[in-house]
A and B are shown apart, each in its own frame.
Chain A
C-alpha cells in the first residue's frame, strides 16, 4: 500500500479517522413507463483522505450510478433517489440546494470518466476546457485560466503543454486525452476524486501510466480516490480497500489484500476464479455461470443465489438463512471484513 506524506499519513485508510465522504443507505431507481429499475439498493461506504476505495462490479451492478448520484449529475427524472444520505465535509449533499451542490463539484468532489474522447467537448480546445474550471469557480480571466491550464497539463505530464494547450481533443492520443480529463478533475485540488473506469478504454501500457499518475497525484494532494472498475488487476495494484457490488448492493467489503487472498462472498470468489492468476498456471478458468440479474426483477433472497455454487435452499438451509427466501444483510464476518452471505464463514473457511 501507499506511503503518504505527513499530513495525510495520520488519516490513512481503515484506521477509524473521520471520513471526508460518507454514503449512507443510498438507493437509486429509474422509473420508465414500463418498469422500475432498482439500480442502487442501499449502499453505504466512506472514503477518507488519501484512501483509495475500489468499487468493483460487473456492468449494471450500480457502481457508476452511485458515483453519479454522489456527483449530483444523474438525470432526474428518470432517476430518483428515494432514500439515502451523502455526507461531504459535514453537509448532506442530497438536501443541499442545487447551487450549493454545484459549487462542491470541482473544488470538493470531481470525477473522470471512462471514454475521454466523448467526455470532452469536441469543439473547444483542451486548454479552454481545463481553464473553465478556474473561470467558473475562481473567476479567473480567460488568459489567466489558460496559463493555469498549461501548468496543469505539465503536471499530468503532457509533453509540450504550452504548444498543445490550443489543440482539440481529437488531436490527442487516448492516453493523453485521459490525462487532459485528469488535469481538469484535479484543477481545483478536490478532496475526493471519483474515477469511473478511468483506464478501461486504454491499452495496457497506457493504463499503467495513467494509474501511476493518479497515484502520484493522490500522494501529492492527499485526496481520497474512489476507483470504479471491473478490472481486478487495477484494484489489486492501486486500491487500499475494496467494495464488491452486485445487483446494486455491496456484497463484500474489506482491504484489498485480504479480500483478494480470502474472499468472503461466493461472488467475489467467482470473480477471482474467472481471471488468470500468475501462480495458478495451467489451471482452468472458472467463469461465473448465468447472467447478471435484471435490475427490474432482482431475485428474492440473496440476489446472487441463482448463480451461486454454494447456495442452500429449502431443507438444506439453516433456519432463517434460506438463500432464495432470506436476504442476507451486509455483516461483519471477521474483524475488518463485511460480507452479505448467510454462509460467509464457510466461504472464508473459518
Chain B
C-alpha cells in the first residue's frame, strides 16, 4: 500500500479511493445482514407489539405479516429488503411511514449534535492537550491528567444524568432536554457525547506534542534561529496533530453510536433516538435502515481520514 509515489499523480489517489469505495459494498452488505439477522432474532412478535392491548383480527394480522414479508425465511426477507434498497426504497415502518422520511427528518438533529461534539473535542481537547504537552509535568498538565482520567472512567450514561442534574437542574444553565432552544440546547448533550473522545484527544495531543518537542527536527528548527512561535506552531504542532486529526475524523463515525444514548437521555429527536425507539418496537426496517446508514457514515469518514492522512503526511502515499 505504501509506495513512494507522489500525490500530484492524481491517478493513483483516485484509483485508491475508487477501490476503497468498491470495498464498502461487501462491508455494507455484511453489516446490514448482521443487523437484519439480529433484529429478526429479537423475541416477540412485532405485529402484536404494534397492536398493544387492542386485539387484531387474524385476517388483519395475516395481511400485515404478508405486507412486511414476515413469514418469509430470514434470507428471503433480507434479499427483498436489499432489492428495495437498491431502488432507493428504505421500506416503511409498521405505521406505513417511509423509513427514508424518518431518516431525513431526524438526521439534521444528529448531525448538529455530532458537529457540536466534534467542536468540543477540537476546542477543548486539542487546546488542553497542547498546553499540557508544551509544559509537561506542570500544574496544568496534572490537571488535564486527573480530569481526563475521571471523565474516561465514568460511563456516558452516568455523566449524562449528572450533567443534567448539575448544569440543567441545579444551576439552570442549560435546558435539560429537547431542542426548543435551538443550537443552545445541543451544548450540554454535545459535551456529554464528546466527553470520552475529548479526554482521549487531550491525552493523544499531549503525548504527541511531548514526543515531537524532543524530535531532532525541532532541535534543527531551533538551531536555525527560528522564532519560538514558529518552532512550536510550524514544526511541533503540525506534526503532532496528524494522529489527532485522524482520530477525530474516525471518531465522527463512532459518535453516531454514542448518539443513541445521548439523544435518548436528552430527548433529542435524532436518528439515535429513532434507533432506540425502533429496537423497542421491533421496527426492523427502521433499525436496519438507520444502522446501515451509520455504517456508511463510518466507512465514509474513515476513507476521508485515510486521504487526509496522505495530505498531512507526505511520507504516506497510496497506490
Contacts and interface: CB of A to CB of B under 8 A. Distances in A.
Contacts of B42: none
A137 to B, nearest CB: 6
A230 to B, nearest CB: 19
Contacts of A23: none
Interface in A130-178: 132-133, 136-137, 168, 170-171
B216 A118 contact: yes
Interface string A94-119: 00000000111111001101010011
Interface string B214-257: 01110111111111101000110011001000000000000000
A122 B220 CA distance: 12
Interface stretch (B113-121, B161-169, B184-192, B308-316): B308-316
A110 B225 CA distance: 9
Given A103-B225, A136-B225, A170-B4, A73 B219 contact: yes
Nearest to B238: A123
A124 B230 CA distance: 13
A136 B220 contact: no
Contact of A102 (B220, B225, B235): B225
Given A121-B239, A170-B315, A105 B217 contact: no
Interface in B271-319: 312-315
Contacts of A256: none
Interface in A49-75: 68, 71-73
A123 B225 contact: no
Contacts of B225: 102-107, 110, 133, 136-137
B214 to A, nearest CB: 8
B220 A119 contact: yes
Contacts of B223: 71, 73, 105, 110-111, 113
A124 B312 CA distance: 10
Interface residues of A, number: 31
A122 B216 contact: no
A250 interface: no
B194 to A, nearest CB: 27
A73 B216 contact: no
Given A102-B227, A115-B216, A136-B230, A122 B222 contact: no
A184 B239 contact: no
B57 to A, nearest CB: 70
A113 B224 contact: no
| Residue of A122, A133, A168 with most chain B CB atoms under a 10 A cut-off | A122
B4 A113 contact: no
A122 B227 contact: no
A73 B228 CA distance: 12
A133 B315 contact: no
A118 B215 contact: yes
B216 A119 contact: yes
B216 A113 contact: yes
B130 to A, nearest CB: 17
Contacts of A43: none
Contacts of B239: 121-123
Contacts of B235: 121
For the complex of A and B, 7 pairs with smallest distance between CB atoms: A105-B225, A106-B225, A118-B216, A121-B217, A168-B314, A119-B216, A73-B222
19 contacts: A72-B222, A73-B223, A110-B223, A113-B223, A118-B216, A119-B217, A119-B220, A120-B220, A122-B313, A122-B314, A124-B234, A132-B230, A133-B225, A136-B224, A136-B226, A136-B230, A168-B314, A170-B4, A181-B220
